[in-house]
Protein backbone atom coordinates (compact mmCIF):
# COMPACT_ATOMS: atom_id res chain seq x y z
CA UNK A 1 0.00 0.00 0.00
CA UNK A 2 1.20 3.49 -0.85
CA UNK A 3 1.30 6.36 1.64
CA UNK A 4 1.35 9.97 0.48
CA UNK A 5 2.10 12.64 3.08
CA UNK A 6 0.62 10.51 5.86
CA UNK A 7 -2.45 9.06 4.13
CA UNK A 8 -2.85 5.67 2.51
CA UNK A 9 -3.75 5.59 -1.16
CA UNK A 10 -3.91 3.17 -4.07
CA UNK A 11 -1.49 3.68 -6.94
CA UNK A 12 -4.01 5.22 -9.35
CA UNK A 13 -4.95 7.96 -6.87
CA UNK A 14 -1.40 9.06 -5.98
CA UNK A 15 -1.39 12.36 -7.96
CA UNK A 16 -4.83 13.34 -6.64
CA UNK A 17 -3.92 12.51 -3.05
CA UNK A 18 -0.64 14.40 -3.37
CA UNK A 19 -2.46 17.52 -4.54
CA UNK A 20 -5.13 17.19 -1.83
CA UNK A 21 -2.55 16.69 0.92
CA UNK A 22 -0.33 19.57 -0.23
CA UNK A 23 -3.38 21.85 -0.24
CA UNK A 24 -4.45 20.62 3.19
CA UNK A 25 -0.97 21.14 4.64
CA UNK A 26 -0.50 24.62 3.14
CA UNK A 27 -0.48 27.57 5.50
CA UNK A 28 -3.54 29.79 5.85
CA UNK A 29 -1.58 33.03 5.52
CA UNK A 30 -1.56 35.31 2.46
CA UNK A 31 1.06 33.24 0.57
CA UNK A 32 -0.77 30.01 1.44
CA UNK A 33 -4.04 31.32 0.06
CA UNK A 34 -2.36 32.47 -3.16
CA UNK A 35 -0.63 29.08 -3.41
CA UNK A 36 -3.94 27.26 -3.04
CA UNK A 37 -5.41 29.32 -5.87
CA UNK A 38 -2.41 28.59 -8.10
CA UNK A 39 -2.39 24.89 -7.23
CA UNK A 40 -6.11 24.52 -7.94
CA UNK A 41 -5.48 25.49 -11.58
CA UNK A 42 -2.50 23.12 -11.91
CA UNK A 43 -2.45 19.48 -12.96
CA UNK A 44 -0.47 16.90 -11.00
CA UNK A 45 0.81 13.66 -12.51
CA UNK A 46 2.95 10.87 -11.09
CA UNK A 47 5.60 8.62 -12.60
CA UNK A 48 8.05 6.02 -11.34
CA UNK A 49 11.41 5.45 -12.97
CA UNK A 50 11.79 1.68 -12.87
CA UNK A 51 15.55 1.84 -13.29
CA UNK A 52 16.40 4.33 -10.54
CA UNK A 53 13.29 3.54 -8.44
CA UNK A 54 12.69 7.28 -8.11
CA UNK A 55 9.18 8.67 -7.87
CA UNK A 56 8.36 11.89 -9.66
CA UNK A 57 5.50 14.29 -9.04
CA UNK A 58 5.00 16.63 -12.00
CA UNK A 59 2.99 19.78 -11.39
CA UNK A 60 2.02 21.31 -14.73
CA UNK A 61 1.06 24.95 -14.42
CA UNK A 62 -0.82 27.16 -16.88
CA UNK A 63 1.26 29.25 -19.30
CA UNK A 64 0.16 32.52 -17.72
CA UNK A 65 1.94 31.80 -14.42
CA UNK A 66 4.89 34.10 -13.80
CA UNK A 67 8.28 32.93 -12.53
CA UNK A 68 7.32 34.48 -9.17
CA UNK A 69 4.15 32.34 -9.08
CA UNK A 70 6.16 29.21 -9.81
CA UNK A 71 8.71 30.10 -7.14
CA UNK A 72 5.88 30.65 -4.63
CA UNK A 73 4.50 27.23 -5.55
CA UNK A 74 7.90 25.62 -5.02
CA UNK A 75 8.38 27.34 -1.66
CA UNK A 76 4.90 26.49 -0.40
CA UNK A 77 5.11 22.88 -1.61
CA UNK A 78 8.37 22.35 0.26
CA UNK A 79 6.99 24.11 3.36
CA UNK A 80 3.98 21.77 3.34
CA UNK A 81 6.24 18.71 3.04
CA UNK A 82 8.46 19.93 5.89
CA UNK A 83 5.49 20.59 8.23
CA UNK A 84 4.29 17.02 7.67
CA UNK A 85 6.07 14.64 10.05
CA UNK A 86 5.90 11.60 7.75
CA UNK A 87 7.71 10.54 4.60
CA UNK A 88 6.37 12.35 1.53
CA UNK A 89 5.93 9.00 -0.24
CA UNK A 90 6.33 5.46 0.99
CA UNK A 91 5.39 2.01 -0.24
CA UNK A 92 4.73 -0.79 2.24
CA UNK A 93 6.38 1.27 4.98
CA UNK A 94 9.56 2.03 3.01
CA UNK A 95 10.29 5.66 2.20
CA UNK A 96 10.77 6.22 -1.53
CA UNK A 97 13.18 8.54 -3.33
CA UNK A 98 11.24 11.32 -4.99
CA UNK A 99 11.45 14.59 -6.84
CA UNK A 100 8.93 17.30 -7.61
CA UNK A 101 8.95 19.07 -10.95
CA UNK A 102 6.98 22.27 -11.47
CA UNK A 103 6.78 23.08 -15.16
CA UNK A 104 4.63 24.53 -17.89
CA UNK A 105 6.19 22.45 -20.68
CA UNK A 106 3.61 20.51 -22.67
CA UNK A 107 4.63 17.20 -24.19
CA UNK A 108 3.16 16.79 -27.68
CA UNK A 109 0.66 13.99 -27.98
CA UNK A 110 1.83 11.59 -30.65
CA UNK A 111 -1.21 9.31 -30.76
CA UNK A 112 -4.78 9.63 -29.62
CA UNK A 113 -7.56 12.14 -29.93
CA UNK A 114 -5.46 15.23 -29.13
CA UNK A 115 -2.66 14.27 -31.53
CA UNK A 116 -0.31 17.12 -32.39
CA UNK A 117 -0.10 17.47 -36.19
CA UNK A 118 3.18 16.25 -37.61
CA UNK A 119 4.44 14.71 -34.38
CA UNK A 120 3.78 11.11 -35.38
CA UNK A 121 5.69 11.44 -38.63
CA UNK A 122 9.28 12.23 -39.34
CA UNK A 123 8.28 15.77 -40.41
CA UNK A 124 9.24 17.28 -37.09
CA UNK A 125 12.75 15.80 -37.34
CA UNK A 126 13.47 16.68 -41.00
CA UNK A 127 15.16 20.04 -40.19
CA UNK A 128 17.54 18.22 -37.85
CA UNK A 129 18.32 15.56 -40.47
CA UNK A 130 18.89 18.24 -43.13
CA UNK A 131 21.43 19.98 -40.88
CA UNK A 132 23.33 16.74 -40.37
CA UNK A 133 23.77 16.08 -44.08
CA UNK A 134 23.90 19.62 -45.43
CA UNK A 135 26.61 20.31 -48.04
CA UNK A 136 29.72 21.91 -46.59
CA UNK A 137 29.30 20.37 -43.14
CA UNK A 138 32.52 18.71 -41.94
CA UNK A 139 32.40 15.08 -40.96
CA UNK A 140 33.35 15.00 -37.25
CA UNK A 141 34.56 11.39 -37.60
CA UNK A 142 36.96 12.12 -40.47
CA UNK A 143 40.52 12.95 -39.35
CA UNK A 144 42.15 12.95 -42.75
CA UNK A 145 44.64 10.18 -42.01
CA UNK A 146 42.30 7.42 -40.93
CA UNK A 147 42.69 3.86 -42.27
CA UNK A 148 38.94 3.37 -42.23
Average pLDDT for 28-53:
93
Q: Is 64 left (phi over 0), alpha (psi -120 to 50) or beta?
A: alpha
Q: In the predicted model, is pLDDT for residue 132 greater than 90?
A: no
Mean pLDDT of 16-29: 94
Q: What is the mean pLDDT of the chain?
A: 84
Mean pLDDT of 60-87: 91
pTM score of the predicted model: 0.69
Using only C-alpha atoms, what is the Rg of the chain?
22
Domains assigned to the chain:
2-103 (3.30.300)
Q: How buried is residue 23: exposed, middle or buried, by Cβ count under 10 Å (0-12/13-18/19+)?
A: middle
Amino acid sequence: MWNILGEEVIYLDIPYKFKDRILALAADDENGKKFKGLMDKSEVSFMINGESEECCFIIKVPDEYTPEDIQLMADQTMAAIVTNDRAPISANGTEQKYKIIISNDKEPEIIGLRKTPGMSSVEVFKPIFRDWVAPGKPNPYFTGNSRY
